[in-house]
Amino acid sequence: MILLDRHIAFRFLVNFITLFCLIFIFIVSVDVVLQFDSFVEAASRAVEQERFSSTSIATLMAILDFHGPRVFQSFSFLVGLVSVAAAGFTLSQMQRSRELVAMLAAGIPLQRVAVIIFLMACLLNLLQVVNQEFVIPRLAPVLLREHGQILSRTSSEFSVVMTRDARDNLFSGRMLDANRGVIDDMLVLTRDADGTAERRISAPRAVWNADGFWELESGIAIDRVGRDEGSMQSQQVIERFETDLSPHSLLVRRDQERAQMLSTRQIGALREDAATTSGRLARIMWTRIGGVGVNLLVLLLILPNFLCRLPGPLLLQSVKCAAIGVPVLLLSVLVMLLPVSGVSPALMALLPTAVLIPVSFWRLAALKS
């Protein structure tokens, strides 16, 4: 019996790895084809900096540098869907080779196969939890890179999109080095009570002062007079700009945007910051718990389609599996992420699991073996 269990588990894991690799390679191939110029440009810059000896090697390393860490991110997204597909392939192979018939003839119930596949899926989801809590947070700065930052050695630098401060000003910058407290190409729009821009402040470089302001280098301020677009005063030199948007505050806001890549402990720390939206962060935390339940229960939901006493048409079984599994997975994710006013994020995240528990176990209990 132990030998049979190992055989089923091994076949399921091999199918999972094979399907995951094929999907990941397809994703990488599409991105490389669409962004090939970006990879070549990054490779050329690296060769000019004498980091690589040839453009071909540099291009290959650029692809590996950009997409290599995304294996873990893709695993996080695909573990549920690929588990369902791997279970279908495993049972189809066993049905085609009449292994399920042989098991029934030996007095082994089909539920035994379901238990082994379910345990392997539990193991994969456990790996996903470890991946989400310990691996992805460490790789988050690398995963957030855009194609213009391929082969970049720095991870503390990021662009600042238009961000509102406590005075309702709009603050942005081409690149912020949070460790050094330096921002390049800073742009600030100060607004009146109606939200209309009344002053435009720009500086090629600014340095954060611990007293609560940015020291501008060659800063220029242009004031608006009246409502007309062309009614501007002459340029004025400005040396500082006071705001609550320190490098730390901007880093915290960026972390809120990348909260999906943070660990539960880091999200908990973000929720204590007044600048963040705790409801959205709570939804992310509870969705991780509900996601594991949905992955496992959808797997149980589709297993009876393949666990048949007599060999049947595999195409029809596969179509039924896809018709049940894929919509249920997508609908569950939609419900878990849907913000509903007055409803706890925990309730929305756990609702699909609560609905799927009786349905999945009823399907498995009704299995004729």
Q: What confidence score (pLDDT) does residue 23 get?
A: 98
What backbone torsions phi and psi does residue 240 show, to the nearest 5 degrees?
Answer: -150, 155
* 3-class DSSP assignment, residue 284: helix
Give the integer Cα–Cα distance in Å for 306 and 92: 7
Signed CA dihedral, 127, 129, 131, 134: sign only: negative
Segment among 3-7, 157-161, 346-350 with least mean pLDDT: 157-161
The per-residue pLDDT of the chain, averaged, comes to 88
Kind and range of the H or E run holding 65:
helix 55-67
On the question of pLDDT at 232 being above 70, the answer is: no
Give the percent of the chain with pLDDT over 90: 50
Q: Compare 156 and 44 and report the one with higher pLDDT.
A: 44
Banded model confidence at residue 274, pLDDT cuts 50, 70, 90: very low
pLDDT tens track for 279-289: 778 888 899 99
On the question of pLDDT at 230 being above 80, the answer is: no
Signed CA dihedral, 284, 143, 266, 159: sign only: negative
pLDDT tens track for 16-60: 999 999 999 999 999 999 999 999 999 998 899 888 889 999 999
Give the percent of the chain with pLDDT over 70: 92
Give the integer Cα–Cα distance in Å for 271 and 286: 13
DSSP state letters, 124-148: HHHHHHHIIIIIHHHHHHHHT--GG
Measured CA to CA in angstroms, residue 157 lies from 9, 145, 173, 182, 233 at distances of: 44, 10, 11, 10, 34
* 3-class DSSP assignment, residue 114: helix
Measured CA to CA in angstroms, residue 270 lies from 276, 278, 304 at distances of: 7, 8, 43
Nearest 5°: the CA angle 135, 80, 19 is 90
Q: What confidence score (pLDDT) does residue 53 get?
A: 87
What backbone torsions phi and psi does residue 159 show, to the nearest 5 degrees?
Answer: -80, 150
pLDDT tens track for 111-151: 999 999 999 999 999 999 999 999 998 888 788 788 877 88
pLDDT tens track for 7-16: 999 999 999 9
Cβ neighbors of 180 (< 8 A, separation 6 or more) are none
In the chain, where the domains are located = 2-34+69-144+277-365, 157-244
